[in-house]
Structure 1
Amino acid sequence: MSDFPTQARVVIIGGGAVGVSSLYHLAKAGWTDCLLLEKNELTAGSTWHAAGNVPTFSSSWSIMNMQRYSAELYRKLGQEVDYPMNYHVTGSVRLGHSRERLMEFQKVVGMGRYQGMDLNILTPDEIKRVYPFVETHDLTGALHDPYDGDIDPAQLTQALAKGARQMGAKIERFCPVTSVRREGDEWVVVTPKGEVRCEKVVNAAGYYAGKVAEMFGRKLPMMVMSHQYMLFDTIPELESWSKEVGHKLPLLRDVDSSYYLRQEKMGFNLGPYEGNCKAHWVEKSDPFPDDFSFQLFPDDLERLEWHINDAMARVPLLGQANLTKVINGPIPYTPDGNPLIGPMPGLPNAYEACVFTFGICQAGGAGKVLAEWVTEGATEWDMWSCDPRRFTGFEDPDYCVKKGMEVYGHEYAIHFPHHAWPEGRGKKLSAVHDRTEAMGAQFGPYNGWERALWYARPGDDTTEASQRTWDRAGPWFGAVKAECEAVRDAAGILDLPGFSRFMLTGAGAAEWLSAQITGKLPSVGRLGLAYFADDKGRIVTEMSVARMGEEQFLLITAATAQSHDKEWLLRHLAPGLSLMDATEAWSCQILTGPKSREILAACSDADLSKGWLTFQQAKIAGEEVWLFRVSFAGELGWEIHTPVGVTAKVFDAVMAAGSPLGLKPFGMFALNSLRVEKGYRAWKGDLSTDYTVLQGGLERFVDWGKSFRGKAALEAEKQRGVAKRFCTLVIEAGEQDPPYMATIWKDGVIVGELTSGYYGHRVGACIGLGMLKTEVNLPGTEVEVEIFGARYPAKVMADQPLWDPKNERIRA
């Protein structure tokens, strides 16, 4: 009789390091009735040929959290489950060739310090003491990470598997999944060994994840690259040095030359990320294989020649070694290089933990995050960087290939705050894209939509190279200043295609929506901001709510939030209610500034006496539009919402009416400047599940007299005292604005972090929005903000906007 299980609480599809870590963490959370299915042997995909590096470095706060957790787990895992593991914590040296690279390192050092990691910067002389074989003549310094190292991927996976089995979880090898179907409230997973019924299912199938996703009717945003690394034979000088000092060399990364060099026994492992890289299984002549288990691609060293020569010049010792083996295996990539971890959009109780480019160093943290999604419906850290819902379906195969190759070829690239990557662009264009482009718009993508970042003037440098700086005063600075001044003194117009918008209707819509948000619903004909909390009172999302009728609401949210917010609404939607996604049918312009009423009076039939937070239908150029009396820029203004087909006509009419009055186009950089002056929060920066509604300074949007999700948690937090709260700082910064998660210091102690930092052109100061411990969050308190390794004086401001503190201009 077969002992193949026919039921499980959770089925995980895929037995690589991430899938097995997910099983281990589910079991650790008490969900032991879980089953993992692997089509071959454990580790048969990308895991078996992975190099096994375990860095903690990341420029992303959430991914650094995930990788830090992995490193901490791996250091104790072998002993915990009684399984021998080769885990060498050697530390690493990440070389810098430029000022900009050293600034990136300083940013990461600050983040690491806040997470409890002792990262530090080395001078060229100090590099030699840590790594005596490296040439340092052209270096500006290095980042030293004492927690870095390497692990045997197969041993790691088997240790996690042993731990999962010890807790009662099951693993079935040589058991491919052939299909899945939904029956009632269950998933049925079909295999040659039989069917398994389960409550929840996880796609952890690595580079097979796209094929598994098709079983769910889903197209994954992914592609596959080939990555090569080379193993070199024993070098006597390295062997004698290692025996003398009693340890291995730290892992060396020359990030500006795009490769890592690791001591492997008494030789080396060299792994480049080459710009002339290769995608696989894209062409009809190279179809996706039914089974690529434990297989590699043929060697292709010719495209690595530059990197090999550069590495031998950097570490001449490498030139003494004989090449013994080349590993060339498949690695999956999403369009932004981050994995997919979280709910499968549009499907109940289905999750993804797949498309890991760095699966070994992220597997431990990914298993923790996935288990939290499955068992609690939410994660400890805000994991938007990896959430499958950050992609919305426009990412076709050509886009995925272009972006995947771009990410791979720039694997170690610095991500500058004003830089827009060039590949995969022009996917979604505004109805007035040609107009804004002709005016000098420099574009950046928002959920695929091209939006103007700034408007170049004659002589402004618009090259991509000019964007690669941390400095505030790039070529855009003067133009953005002029755009902000136009909004302040006359009027500006911002083309905003792609706002996510959902129409909620049905008997009981008002009662249901009221229970979803923390605050009050607007009355018919009015609009307001609404905040959605999770069960722990944390900020899930922010939407503008326009009440079109007693039981009819228009919900407007960020372009990037389209899949996230739609999935959240549908998951909680009461029976009988209707939610329609109207995103593609409409466009929007923001018209704002003291002369915006005069401009609308010249081109529309609107009742312009209607007050702030009202809306109305009106005609511009003979076309029906919706005018919303609100402005994220903090000036008198309206959002002009238009059906896409009439947008260009309306835009032209507004421009014609406004040009004699000083109307100018402005972009997203100017909007960022304008909104920080008002203390307006940005989604997944200032507003995230890392913070509760009370910490976010949003209590004025809480109606304690009604029931809503998260109310009990917020009441308990209020009773015990809110530990940290939203703050606005004015910073005496240098040449750079503070990056996301810059630390705030008081008397030598970290007391908070910034969630936004930008220069306010109307107030003439660098402004920081962030979270500060309550006991020091008092107006006038002097603190310091760490910006790229240096601390700058800052002052806590009063709990009101820096610009127009009484909102007199916006209500004019």
Structure 2
Amino acid sequence: MSDFPTSARVVIIGGGAVGASALYHLCKVGWTDCVLLEKNELTAGSTWHAAGNVPTFSSSWSIMNMQRYSAELYRGLGAAVDYPMNYHVTGSVRLGHTKERLQEFQRVVGMGRYQGMDLNILSPGEIRDRYPFLETHDLTGALYDPYDGDIDPAQLTQALAKGARQMGARIERFCPATGARREGDEWVISTPKGDIRCEIVVNAAGYYAREVGKWFGRDLPMMVMSHQYLLFDTIPELESWSKSAGHKLPLLRDVDSSYYLRQEKYGFNLGPYERNCKAHWVSPDDPFPEDFSFQLFPDDLERLEWYIGDAMARVPLLEKAALTKVINGPIPYTPDGNPLIGPMPGVPNAFEACVFTFGICQAGGAGKVLAEWVTEGATEWDMWSCDPRRFTGFEDPDYCVKKGMEVYGHEYAIHFPHHAWPVGRMKKLSPVHDRVAAMGAQFGAYNGWERALWYARPGDDTSEEAQRTWDREGPWFGAVREECLAVRDAAGILDLPGFSRFRLTGAGAADWLSRQITGKVPREGRLGLAYFADAKGRIVTEMSVASLGPDEFWLITAATAQAHDREWLERHMEPGLALTDETEGWATQILTGPASRAILAEVSDADLSRGWLSFQTARIAGAEVVLMRVSFAGELGWEIHSRVADTPRVWDAVIAAGKPRGLRPFGMFALNSLRIEKGYRAWKGDLSTDYTVLQGGLERFIDWSKPDFRGRAALAAEKQAGFAKRFVTLKVEAGDCDPPYMSTIWHEGRVVGETTSGYWGHRVEACLALGMLRADLATPGTRVEVEIFGGRYPAEVLADAPVWDAENARLRG
């Protein structure tokens, strides 16, 4: 009689390093009634051929957290589960060829220090002390990471699996999942050995994740790249040095040339990320295989020729090595290169932990994050960088392939704050896109929607290369200043396609909404800013709420939050309520500045005496619009909401009336400057689950008189006990660069906080930063320092009021 399990609390589909880590971490928190299904042997997918590098380096705060956790876990895993582990913590040297690359390294050093890691910058003269076989004549420096190294991926997976089994979990090898169906409140997973009923299912199927996702009605945004690395034979000089030194060389990454070079026994492992890369399984001539377990693609060394030559010039010792083996295997990619970890959008009790490009170094942290999602419904760190809901469905296969190849070919690229990646663009256009483009707009994509970042003037450099700088005063700077001053002195108009927009209706909608948000529900005809907290009082999202009538509301939120916020609302929806996504049907412009009232008076029939936070239906150029009396720019202004078909004539009428009054189009860079001067927060920067509503300085949006709302108990307890951090605005005496996200704040030689936004305020002629500071220092006048690319710059805590128009007189005018 078979002992195959017929039920489990959780079923994980996929037995690579990530699936095994998810199983291990679920067991660690006491969820041992779990089954992992693997179609072949454990590691049969990308794990078995992975190089096994374990870096902690990342320019993303959340991914650095995840990778740091992995490295810490792996150092003790073998002993914890009594399994032999080949884990070599060799350290790494990451080379820099330019000033901009060293700036990136300096930023990461600061982030790493804040996470408890001692990363260091090496001067060109110090690099050879770490790596004696290196040519350094053209380098600007390097980053040394003592925690980096490499691990045997198969041993890692088996160790995680052993630990999970020891705690009571089941692993079924050679047992492919073949389908999934919903019966009542259960999932039924089909296998050749029988069905398994479960409460929760996890898609950890690696490069098969898209096929598995189809069982749940999901089309995962992913593609598969071919990645090659080369193994070279023993080099006597390297063997002699290594035996004499008593250790291996640190792992070398020449990120500006785009490869890594690792000592493998007494030879080398060379892994390039080439620009002339290759996608697989994307055409009828190259169909997706039914089974690709423990298989590789044919060698394709021609496309690596330049990288091999460059590596040999950098480490001449490599020229003496004989090539012994080429590994060419599939690696899955999402359109932004980050994995999918979290709730499966629109699917109950289903989660994703898949599409890992760097699955070995991220597996440990991913298992922790996935277990938190499953068991707690939230994660310790804000993991929006990996949340499946960051993709919203427009990412068709062609888009995924193009973006995946772009990411692969620029795997080690610097992500500059003003640079817009060019591939896969023009997916979703504003109804006035042609008019905006004709005015000189330089575009960036927000959830696929093309928005103007800034408007180039004659002679401005609009090349992609000019965007690749950390400096404040790039080619956009003068134009953005003019845009901001036009908003201050006359009027500006910002075309803002893609606002996520939901209509909530049904008896009891107001009462339900009141329990979802921390503050008051606005009365009919009024607007309000609403914050949604989780059970711990942390900031989940921010929405504008417009009360359209009894139990009817518009909920308007960020373009990038569309799938996230819709899923959050639907997850908590009650019978009798309906939520309709109206995002595609409407367009929005922000008209703002002291002349905005006069412009609207000429073209609309609206009652423009209505005050701040009101809204009304009106007509412009014969089209019905909704005018909302708000402005994220912090000046007198309105949001003009029009149906897509009507938007061109509305835009034309406003532009014609505004031209003699100094109206000028402005873009997202200007809006960022304007909103920071007002202390307005941005989602997933200043507003995230890394902070509570109280820490975020948002107590004015908490209605303590309400008997119940999500997070109330946690926030009340926090208020009584006092909290460690407070939101502040800083004036920074910065140099050439504004502080990036997660720049550390110092006081008397200690790190006491972090910035969450930073930009130049053109109305106040100063560099400003928003951030979180140790509570006892969050008082006006406190002097601190902000670390920007390795330098510490004086800063002052400002009063708890907007830097621009502190009394909101202009806004309410």
**TM-score interval, smaller chain:** over 0.9
Name 2:100's counterpart in structure 1: 100
Q: Secondary structure at the match of 2:650?
A: helix
SS at match of 1:793: strand
CA displacement 1:495-549 (0-9 Å, x = unmatched): 0000000000000000000000000011100001000000000000000000000
Match of residue 780 from structure 2: 779
Distance 1:774 1:22 in 2: 36
Q: Which amino acid aligns with 2:625?
A: V
Question: 2:362 matched to which residue of 1?
Answer: 362
2: CA distance, partners of 1:444 / 1:644:
20
SS at match of 2:311: helix
SS of the counterpart of 2:811?
A: coil
Partner of 1:800: 801
Q: Is residue 735 of structure 2 the alignment partner of residue 734 of structure 1?
A: yes
Structure 2 counterpart of 1:712, one-letter code: A
Map 1:108-119 to 2 at 5 A: 108-119=108-119
Query: Which residue of 1 is the match for residue 264 of structure 2?
Result: 264
Give the Cα–Cα distance (whole angstroms) in 2 for the partners of residues 125 and 658 of structure 1. 60
- The Cα of 1:441 is off from its aligned counterpart by 0.1
Task: Tell me which residue corresponds to 1:378.
Answer: 378
CA distance in 2: counterparts of 1:168 and 1:28, whole angstroms? 10
**Post-superposition offset of 1:755:** 0.2
Distance 1:57 1:157 in 2: 22
Superposed CA offset, 1:13-38 (max 9, x none) = 00000000000000001000000000
Corresponding residue number in structure 2 for 1:491: 491
- Report what 1:160 is aligned to: 160
Give CA deviations for 1:155-194 in whole Å, capped at 9, x if unaligned. 0000000000000011000011111000000000000100
CA apart distance, 1:466: 0.3
Q: How far apart, CA to CA, are the structure 1 residues paired with 2:43 and 2:342? A: 22
Aligned-pair CA distance for 1:800: 0.2
Q: Which residue of 1 aligns with 2:715?
A: 714
Residue in 2 aligned with 1:767?
768
Does 2:123 correspond to 1:129?
Answer: no
For 2:383 and 2:516, locate their aligned partners in 1 and report how far apart those are by CA, in whole Å. 22
SS for the counterpart of 1:208 is helix
Give the match for residue 337 of structure 1: 337
In structure 1, what is the Cα distance between the partners aligned to 2:422 and 2:346? 30
TM-aligned CA deviation for residue 633 of structure 1: 0.1
Q: Matches of residues 456-495 of structure 1 in structure 2 within 5 Å?
A: 456-495=456-495
Equivalent position SS for 1:62: helix
1:93-492, aligned counterparts within 5 Å? 93-492=93-492
Q: Distance in 1 between matches of 2:165 and 2:704?
A: 47
The corresponding residue for 2:663 is 663
Match of residue 509 from structure 1: 509
2:91 and 2:760 map into 1 onto residues whose CA distance is 37
Counterparts of 2:574 and 2:806, CA distance in 1: 40
Give the aligned residue type for 2:430.
Answer: S
Separation of aligned partners in 1, 2:241 and 2:384: 45
Provide the secondary structure at the position in 2 that maps to 1:546: strand
> What secondary structure sits across from 1:683 in the alignment?
coil
- Provide the rounded CA distance (Å) in 1 between the counterparts of 2:166 and 2:23: 12
The whole-number CA distance in structure 2 between the counterparts of 1:108 and 1:413 is 14
Alpha-carbon separation, structure 2, partners of 1:724 and 1:129: 41
Report Cα offsets for 1:280-304 as digits up to 9, x if no partner: 0001000000000000000000000
Question: What secondary structure is seen at the aligned counterpart in 1 of 2:197?
Answer: strand
Q: Does 1:624 align with 2:606?
A: no
Report the residue type matching 2:518 in the other structure.
Answer: T
Paired residues, number: 812
Aligned-partner Cα distance in 2 for 1:688–1:323: 49
**Whole-Å separation in 1 of the counterparts to 2:397 and 2:404:** 10
1:723 matched residue in structure 2: 724
Alpha-carbon distance, 1:94 to partner: 0.1
The residue type equivalent to 1:503 in the other structure is: R
For 1:266 and 1:771, how far apart are their aligned partners in 2? 48
Query: 2 CA distance for matches of 1:333 and 1:623?
Result: 44
User: In structure 2, what residue type is equivalent to 1:228?
Assistant: Q
CA distance in 2, matches of 1:269, 1:723: 46
Q: CA deviation at 1:125?
A: 1.1
Unaligned runs of 5+ in 1: none
Q: In 2, distance between residues paired with 1:716 and 1:513?
A: 23
Secondary structure at the counterpart of residue 812 of structure 2: coil
1:31 and 2:38 aligned: no
TM-superposed deviation, 1:775: 0.5
Shift of 1:393: 0.1
Q: Whole-Å Cα distance in 1 between the matches of residues 463 and 125 of structure 2?
A: 36
The one-letter code of the counterpart of 1:777 is: A
CA distance in 2: counterparts of 1:127 and 1:409, whole angstroms:
26
Question: Following the alignment from structure 2 to structure 1, what is the Cα–Cα distance between the partners of residues 672 and 648?
Answer: 25
Aligned partner of residue 479 in structure 2, secondary structure: helix
Counterpart Cα distance in 1 of 2:397 and 2:743? 37
Alignment partner, residue 565 of structure 2: 565
Question: What is the distance in 2 between the residues matched to 1:781 and 1:469?
Answer: 31
Distance in 1 of aligned mates of 2:238 and 2:29? 45
Deviations 1:403-430 (A, max 9, x none): 0000000000000000000000000000
Runs of 4+ in 1 over 6 A off after TM superposition: none
Distance 1:123 1:724 in 2: 36
- Give the superposition deviation at 1:705: 1.1
- How far does residue 217 in structure 1 lie from its aligned partner after superposition? 1.1
User: Is residue 687 of structure 2 the alignment partner of residue 687 of structure 1?
Assistant: yes
Taking the aligned partners of 2:215 and 2:317, their CA distance within structure 1 comes to 51
Alpha-carbon distance between aligned partners in 1 of 2:128 and 2:785, rounded to the nearest angstrom: 33
User: How many angstroms does 1:722 deviate by?
Assistant: 1.4
Give secondary structure in 2 for the equivalent of 1:809: helix
Give per-residue Cα distances to partners, 1:599-651, cap 9 Å, x unaligned: 00010000000000000000000110000000000000000000000000000
Instruction: Render the CA deviation track for 1:236-280: whole Å, top value 9, x for unaligned.
Output: 000000000100000000000000000000000000000000000
Q: Distance in 1 between matches of 2:614 and 2:424?
A: 39
Q: Does 1:552 align with 2:552?
A: yes
SS in 1 for 2:338: coil
Distance apart, 1:550 and its partner CA: 1.7
Q: Aligned partner of 1:177: which letter?
A: A
Q: For 2:216 and 2:555, locate their aligned partners in 1 and report how far apart those are by CA, in whole Å.
A: 28
Q: TM-score, normalised by structure 2?
A: 1.00
One-letter amino acid of the structure 2 residue matched with residue 329 of structure 1: G
1:511-660 equivalence runs, <5 A? 511-660=511-660
SS of aligned partner of 2:435:
helix
Unaligned runs of 5+ in 2: none
1:552 Cα deviation (Å)?
0.4
Distance 2:312 2:178 in 1: 48
Q: Distance in 2 between matches of 1:217 and 1:200?
A: 16
Q: CA-to-partner distance for each residue in 1:204-249, whole Å, 9 max, x for gaps?
A: 0000000000111110000000000000000000000000010000
CA distance in 2, matches of 1:639, 1:790: 40
Output aligned runs, 1:15-54, within 5 Å: 15-54=15-54
1:382-401 Cα offsets, whole Å, 9 max, x none, are: 00000000000000000000
Counterpart of 1:491 in structure 2: which amino acid?
Answer: A
Residue 257 of structure 2 aligns to a residue whose secondary structure is coil
Q: Distance in 2 between matches of 1:759 and 1:29?
A: 45
Counterpart amino acid of residue 744 in structure 1:
I
The separation in 2 between residues aligned to 1:575 and 1:338, in whole angstroms, is: 36
CA–CA distance in 1 between the matches of 2:727 and 2:775?
A: 9
Identity of aligned residues (%): 82
